Structure 1
Amino acid sequence: MFGTDSSADQRVTVGRVFILLAIVAAFIAAAIGAKAAYAALRPVDASVISLLKARLPKTKVSKVDCAVVDGLCEVTAGNNLFYVDRSGRYLVIGRVYDMETRQDLTATRLLEINPDTLIGGAAKANNAADSGEPPIAKAVGAGTQSTAPATPSRISLDGLPKDGAIVWGNQLGKTVTVFSDFRCGYCRALSNTLRSMNVRVVERPISVLGSRDLANQVYCAKNRETALHQAYAGELLRNAATCDTSGLDANERFARSHGLNGTPVIVRADGAMIEGYRPKEALASFIAGGRS
């Protein structure tokens, strides 16, 4: 008799505990949902959106996030990405680079927006002049993969000294010169692609993303090719030596004088040049003498 009553009481108690837990869980879920909803509708974001609608009425803003970079609001407009200050007055076109984590924040976001986006070269304005609005960089320095062939521009490498180049790959293959930055994710992707091809690569590092110290280490390494791939892989370069790096200075002077403000830049042996990463098939066609 007593055993039966005790078991019933225990079942009631356990049931009440489960009910209380369910109520607590519901409150937690509601709080999380409210927090998420609030985050999605931050007053400062909404304010910037209103300002942009007034100042850039022909630009269709998809999203504004003022919590990514301190002092700036990241603005997504379709596949385009740019930044404004929180007053919505100043517009910034370019890349944001986190020097602590050594991450290109703009490149990461562009890939989230459009996985087919291929970053390279300097920020280039789209054809917004006719709209009467400031030019917004299309994908901030991105060359979007296109099915249509494009005629490459040309550049003469005659002014470059032999020093400053890191030569790797198949020494009997066709030669391609690459202006690169060891902190550029698309230079790393290009390097990996070129490694799978039967080509001779003349790599000329330029410091676009604050990589000069790393370029010095690679250039002064006993085995430059090994050090180059280690640098792209983010591996620590040990036993760093010092050497004459004036050739790297020449690379950067050449890049500045020819307006090469972004990486990668790929130059064929005949001087034909394309900016930005290209997939293997397009690279093979370009290097072989076809269109990019």
Structure 2
Amino acid sequence: MNYNDHRPGLKTRAAHFALACSGAAAVLTLGVSAVTAMPASASALASDVAQALKLRLPRTPIDAISCDKLGPWCEVVSGDTLFYIDETARYLFVGRLYDMEERRDVTAARLLELNPDLLAAGAPRAGGETQPGGDKPPAQTAAANVDLSTLPAAGAIHWGNPKGEKLVVFSDFQCGYCQRLAGELAKAKVHIEERPVSIFGAPSRKTSEAVLCAKDPVKALHAAYAGRAPATGKTCKKAKALDANEAFAKANGFNGTPVIVRARDGAVIHGYRDAATIRRFVSGAKGSAQ
């Protein structure tokens, strides 16, 4: 009688061992095993993801990783930037994460929590300008005072109180803080000359064109902020003026939205402000609005 016949399961165990060895490379490639039988704790998962990122993005400093708040995504904090990676450490994206149930820009809220002085739209952009593992482009100092005379009339949407002080607002319809600002501007009873810019890339540009070319641009503007952007159709002549808006914003270092400019003298403030602060800015108390 063969001695091995009295050792049931030996071939099975050997096969399992061979399979484990052959799968080791795949597990190392992923960085985090996606086939584990036991669910990892959030802290253990974050640790595994961190190790994988060290191998894959050695030039990117990792300040914090959280894997317990955003479903299958882990949030990664790198300096003043956020990006997201899946639990297998294979798929990474740089951009805005939205909570569809709460209708909330999760990325903007988190960035503001990490750095209250950060512009709402200073987060990683869709199609991002700052990629993990790369070098950040030098930031241009934003102008504190600008000359609005070069902007074409076609690139603006006028709304609010026509008898109020005029403010020129550079905004993106996908910017959560621009949406909040619109409500505060209405409360402040000012005249708004809103000039869309495409902070978040092609999707923002399409929405801006649709709003500007709508039969009722003001109605379309507020609908876009409410998440009901008008359907995109044929581009109208006015849409070309968006290029001038964006060129002006770039030339003056407007790297985020919203940006508010006092029309009478070109004074600039950046980011979201409440109605009371807007009124002070309108009245000329610029220092109190910074």
Q: Which residue of 1 aligns with 2:147?
A: 156
> What's the secondary structure of 2:154's corresponding residue?
coil
Closer/same/farther in 2, CA of residues 82 and 161 from structure 1, 3 Å limit: same
**Alpha-carbon separation, structure 1, partners of 2:59 and 2:70:** 22
Q: How does 1:101-140 map to 2 (within 5 A)?
A: 105-110=106-111, 113=113, 119-120=119-120, 122=122
Mark the structure with the bigger radius of gyration.
1
Question: Alpha-carbon deviation of 1:35?
Answer: 3.6
Q: Which residue of 2 aligns with 1:286?
A: 281
Q: How does 1:64-143 map to 2 (within 5 A)?
A: 64-65=66-67, 74-76=75-77, 81-83=81-83, 96-97=95-96, 105-110=106-111, 113=113, 119-120=119-120, 122=122
TM-score (norm 2): 0.61
Q: How does 1:38-53 map to 2 (within 5 A)?
A: 39-42=42-45, 43-47=47-51
Question: Alpha-carbon deviation of 1:119?
Answer: 3.8
Closer/same/farther in 2, CA of residues 65 and 203 from structure 1, 3 Å limit: same
For the 8 Å contact 1:221–1:240, the answer to whether it is kept is no
For the 8 Å contact 1:118–1:277, the answer to whether it is kept is no
- Say whether 1:171 aligns with 2:175: no
Question: Alpha-carbon deviation of 1:109?
Answer: 3.0
- Say whether 1:272 aligns with 2:272: no
Identical aligned pairs, as a percentage? 38
Q: Which runs of 5+ in 1 are unaligned?
A: 1-33, 87-91, 125-133, 142-151
Output the amino acid matched with 2:108.
Answer: A
Question: Alpha-carbon deviation of 1:96?
Answer: 1.6
Question: Alpha-carbon deviation of 1:118?
Answer: 6.5
TM-score (norm 1): 0.61
Of 189, 199, 205 in structure 2, the residue corresponding to residue 212 of structure 1 is: 205
- Say whether 1:263 aligns with 2:257: yes
Q: Which runs of 5+ in 2 are unaligned?
A: 1-37, 87-91, 125-133
Question: Alpha-carbon deviation of 1:223?
Answer: 1.2
**Alpha-carbon separation, structure 1, partners of 2:64 and 2:272:** 26
**Alpha-carbon separation, structure 2, partners of 1:118 and 1:242:** 34
Number of corresponding residues = 222
> What's the secondary structure of 1:262's corresponding residue?
coil
Of 220, 224, 236 in structure 2, the residue corresponding to residue 243 of structure 1 is: 236
Indicate the RMSD between aligned Cα atoms, in angstroms. 4.3
